[in-house]
Structure 1
Amino acid sequence: MDSKTTKPYRHCPDEEYKISIFICRGRQKAHYPKCPECEFRTTTEEISPIPVEKETITSTSPSQTKTGSIMVKSEPPSAVIFLDDDNIGVTPAIITQILPGKYKIKIKMEGYNSWSQSVNVKANKETSLTAVLHGKDCSVAIESNPTKAEIFIDGNRVGVAPVTIDNAKAGKHLVEVKLDGYEVWSKEINVETEQKTSLIAELTANYGTISLSSEPTNAKIFIDGIEVGTTPANLSPVPHGTYLVEVMIDGYGVWGESVTVEPGKENVLTAILQVKTGSASIKSRPKNAKLYLDGKYAGTTPESILSINPGTHEIKIEMDNYDVWTETVNIEAGKENIITAVLQRSTGTLMVESEPENAVIFVDGKEIGHTPEIIMSSAKGTHAIEVRMDGYDIWKKNVDIEPGTEKSITATLQLKTGSLNINSKPSDATIIVDGKEVGTNPGNHNCTSTRQPSC
């Protein structure tokens, strides 16, 4: 075959470049993915080996000449293959039925420097080549506001802004700029060969601020369970989102609130902490007594007093006719004090004396002693007091006795009296009893003495 003979070319489905019959057969041999749908796959045409055109090579039939092959790959793939300047397809490919000899393989791809290598084809052998392509001199300069954001190109971290990437590959790339507290900035750029691409990423804040104070101050602050400081505090930056803010200090209940932080906004919070309290369960015998806590009326027994501040407190219980019961108790946070007050009846006193002394004393009809005597009473109210002595009239008096009071009474007893019927002859005589003139006879006269009158 003459070296000027036109080579037959074919197209792989959906590919732009024409390929030679050598490439076609090589791809079929390599099980190229598109071969099953190729119209030439089932052809029965027997194509004689066609030598690659070289000035020093003449046509020879396959029955007379043995051939070799070249396996060509590239990184990245889909680069154009040139065999001695003839475009014969794209990588990866196997070029078959090549006459032995020296050839020049060149690989080209847009945005990359050309790659070339000489290869010596030997009969009945396959030579493998892998072309690692390098991008043409392109650069990308990236800045961010604020600075020090991380730069990613096509998902790969390339540095911190501001940064310039030299020897960038030409073509389309996805640039992402990331900084804590800011939304991810992204943009697709087209890097052109031998040109510098510059861009500035204006980042949008993705955080807010929490300004937190408390009463009392110096309380610990927790966000989602993590301690972040003490009050008062200005927490920034806080990424956008919803958080549980808690404030704690010993002796006080936990303060908590759910807070939604929005970009660029400040959340102002004031935590009013409540003192942890204790309680007291108070009973009395008898019940229904008045109950006082630190001087303030708190109900009647039995009673449970909740939310008592920790510390020392006075409990007072009062009931009519009973002594006042008081006790100092220590209330602890989170604990309950159980208190039972046993009330004692209160008494009043009454001092009973008499003239003459040693008279018998009766209280409410019951004999209790002789004068002089101190009477103790546990019952509030009016009591009937009687003082008795032979030869004397009974002395009686109603006396009010108040618990906790003292009274004194003196019973002046009166002698019992009788009568005398005195006659004399002659009549109209003067009658004298115990030296005292009491009248003339005849007549009846009272006598207070138990002795015989002197008449």
Structure 2
Amino acid sequence: MADDAPFPEPDDAARSDPDSASWEPYQSPQGSRGGALRLLRRHAFSITAGAAALAIGLLIYFAPTRLGPAPSASQSDRGQAASTLSVSSQPSSAVVIVGADTAGVTPINDYPLPPGTYLVTVDRANYGSLDTVLTLSAGQSAALAPRFSRDEPPSGRSSDEPAASPPPSPDAPASSDETPDPAPGRPTANSRPGTSSAATDGDIAPVTGTLVLRATPERATVTFDGEEVGGTPATLDEVPTGTYDVTFSRSGYGTVARRVDITASDTATVTATLEQQTGHLRVLVRPWGSIYIDDQRRAENSDVWYDTALPAGAHTVTARHPALGEQSRSVTVAPQDTQSVIMDLREQ
């Protein structure tokens, strides 16, 4: 077939003639780059496998250095021996704070510290706190033994030994200067109810304060921490530190409640103003007469009901007649209530 015949080769005359038509085979411009792409496609698996093996090797080589734990302070400071601190307090169970860190509760033995200067605070609830500046050198061991306030025992006996008193003689009369101990829980003057001036923990006195109580009007009954302690004005000594509820009350007046914080070696003052409560009283005198309330004349020659507002509480009502005499009666007016009284002078 004509289509299958090869292209005719140009003769030498046609090649030498520049004006004659000639034919040359077509070459794609991407032919030179296609060889590199075919080479990459042919060896892609080998290249990928080699890169993965190289990455795994690098990870295994550098992993111990990158993932290993950072050296501790003790390992970095092997050239300096650690210092230790021991703290024992009286009483025990005190919190120890070294710098800004809490070291624990006493007793503490051989607490490790790097060499340096520290502020050591020993705090015991209800007893206060003690501060100490401590400088530790390398390898030094320090010990602190703070003792909070305590009562010194008399000479000749230990602090744990109670004072011995001679037995009373059967023939000796009772001294008039001796006063019996108050009953348990009974309010005592100038002290908190149930609180003794002696130390509560054997030989160590707790931290206490003073409380002054005042009210307007005076002679108001005071309840301190649920116990009645007397009337105002009053002063409570040796009150343990803490927060307490105080209530003031008086007949014919409203009740006032307060909350007070007692701090160590300080005096707290609580004042209260009680509002007076009122009621109404109606009085009728028969056949007629003058009306007096608490010796103060309120109505003269009255034969109708007399109505007035009075402070809540007890009052004395008196009716007087020039011919029938007088009659008195005690009346209690309740707050926000009305009390009616009829006084018949003819029944005397």
TM-score by length of 1: 0.34
Greater Rg, structure 1 or structure 2?
Answer: 1
Report which of the two has the higher share of strand: 1
Q: Name the structure with the higher helix share.
A: 2
Q: Which has the higher contact order (CA 8 A, sep 6+)?
A: 2
Q: TM-score, normalised by structure 2?
A: 0.42
